[in-house]
Amino acid sequence: MKFARKADHIEICINKDVNSTKIYWDDVQLLHRALPELDMGSVDLSAELFGKKLAAPIVISAITGGFEGAEKINRNLAQAAAAVGVGMGVGSQRPALENPELALSYEAVKEFKVPLVIGNVGAPQLVAQKKRPAFGIEDCRKAMKMIDADILAVHMNFLQEIVQPEGDTNAAGCLEAIGAVAKQLPVLAKETGAGMTSDMAHELRMKGVKGIDVGGMGGTSFSAVEYHRAVGRSEATLSRLGETFWNWGIPTPLSIIEADVGLPMIATGGLWTGLDAAKAISLGASAAGFSRKMLAPAMESAEAVERELRMLIAELKAAMFLTGARSVEELQAVPYVVTGHLSEWMNALYWEEPEDQ
Ligand SMILES: Cc1cc2nc3c(=O)[nH]c(=O)nc-3n(C[C@H](O)[C@H](O)[C@H](O)COP(=O)(O)O)c2cc1C
């Protein structure tokens, strides 16, 4: 079945190792303040993102849609996001654009007052591929209307496409196509686990996108996800590609620093705790994005998702208190240090040739 891969992704993400080998958040430390000089009860987590008010700077990043089991997942996520007051995105809406019967699995989001709803289409679908024409602006509008979205994520997932059977590997013209959509609709340019450089973020900003989700490396690796599918189908070349590119990309913390081009930024990619969220925000993100972390609770119940969100918020609040940050804005100015492999990345990237004496 065409969209069986959506169900495969869920099954693999629950049962197999799909994480990048290295956890880069361990290489970022916030500096403790022995006397925070504030009442923890007064720490204010409220945030504004794309003009919407959130109770905390947290977004449930795109996970799924387009198959039977996805409806329950999206409904549980939406119910909890509305109860807690955080944002949420749905997975790629391509299945529903190609087969309207599948829209139900996304529309469940509309049953709840989620403060920020993010639609989702793929950059590869905005240009013509071997076997199908490009989606146009009307498809994008339809995707947003399907869930009353406030902004449309255009995901950039070419790492996944190279490992996926019959992946959409024509990337020529994607930047222009994103620009054309961004002229008419609010667009969030979103990577899906391979991160972003400063140059890429600048090019996207010039095309008029309203925000960036860095989707950095260090969490779910879609090369790994597709590796498991390829092994299951005895696809030798694809499984080899999946294994080789398992850790491909730019670590999330570095992507945050790189992609800081003056646009609102969501930091997704390997965040697992509220402390990771605090680190992401101190590095410059506007909000922290959690994807695979929310999958198991979402398969269970809305209460399980809500419980998890409240724990993330408790951790984030504790980190803010211990660094003396009263607000999200103050957290963005909290000092941090970078150690280990991440500091090697930064030294290599930001190394400047000494000027001649
Ligand atoms: C099961 C699953 C399905 C996903 N599907 C999509 C998708 O359809 N569109 C998208 O933009 N990102 C998708 N993602 C990528 C996530 O939004 C996120 O960028 C990536 O998983 C890294 O975050 P994480 O380490 O918190 O999982 C998916 C992630 C998971 C775990």
pLDDT bin (cut points 50, 70, 90) of residue 357 is low
Q: Is the pLDDT of residue 57 over 80?
A: yes
The reply to whether ligand 1 has any atom less than 6 angstroms from the CB of 63 is yes
Best of 60, 292, 295 for a ligand 1 pocket test (most atoms within 8 Å of beta carbon)? 292
Q: How far apart are CA 77 and CA 143, in angstroms?
A: 18
Average pLDDT, stretch 73-96? 98
Q: With 60 as the cut, is the pLDDT of residue 152 above it?
A: yes
Sheet strands (E) in 214-323: 265-268, 287-290
Ligand 1 centre from 32 Cα, in Å? 32
Q: How confident is the model at residue 2 (pLDDT cuts 50, 70, 90)?
A: low
Query: Which residue's C-alpha comes closest to atom 17 of ligand 1?
Result: 62
Q: Tell me, what's the pLDDT at 202?
A: 98
Is the model's pLDDT at 1 over the cut of 90? no
In ligand 1, which atom is closest to the CA atom of 62? 17
Mean pLDDT of 179-201: 98
Nearest atom in ligand 1 to the alpha carbon of residue 18 is 31
Phi, psi of 75 (to 5 degrees): -65, -45
Q: Specify the fold of 4-350.
A: TIM Barrel (3.20.20)
Structure tokens at 59: 């977004």
C-alpha–C-alpha distance, residues 267 and 287, integer Å: 6
Phi, psi of 221 (to 5 degrees): -105, 115
Q: Is the CB of 105 under 6 A from ligand 1?
A: no
The protein residue whose alpha carbon is closest to atom 10 in ligand 1 is 62
| pLDDT tens digits, one per residue of 268-298 | 999 999 999 999 999 999 999 999 999 999 9
Q: What is the pTM of this model?
A: 0.97
91 lines ligand 1 (CB under 6 A): yes
Neighbour tally for 50: CB within 10 Å:
18
**pLDDT-based confidence at residue 261 (cuts at 50, 70, 90):** very high
Mean per-residue pLDDT, 47-70: 97
Which pLDDT score, from 0 to 100, does residue 356 have?
Answer: 73
Nearest to 241 by CA among 147, 167, 292: 167
Q: Which atom of ligand 1 is nearest to the CA of 268?
A: 23
- Asked if residue 220 has its Cβ within 6 Å of ligand 1, the reply is yes
Closest residue by Cα to atom 23, ligand 1, is: 269
Query: By C-alpha distance, which of 313, 191, 328, 311 is closest to 252?
Result: 191
Ligand 1 near 160 CB (within 6 A):
no
- Burial class of residue 165 in the structure, from the number of CB atoms within 10 Å of its CB (0-12 exposed, 13-18 middle, 19+ buried): exposed
Measured distance CA(15)–CA(2) in Å, rounded: 22
What percentage of the chain carries pLDDT values higher than 70?
99
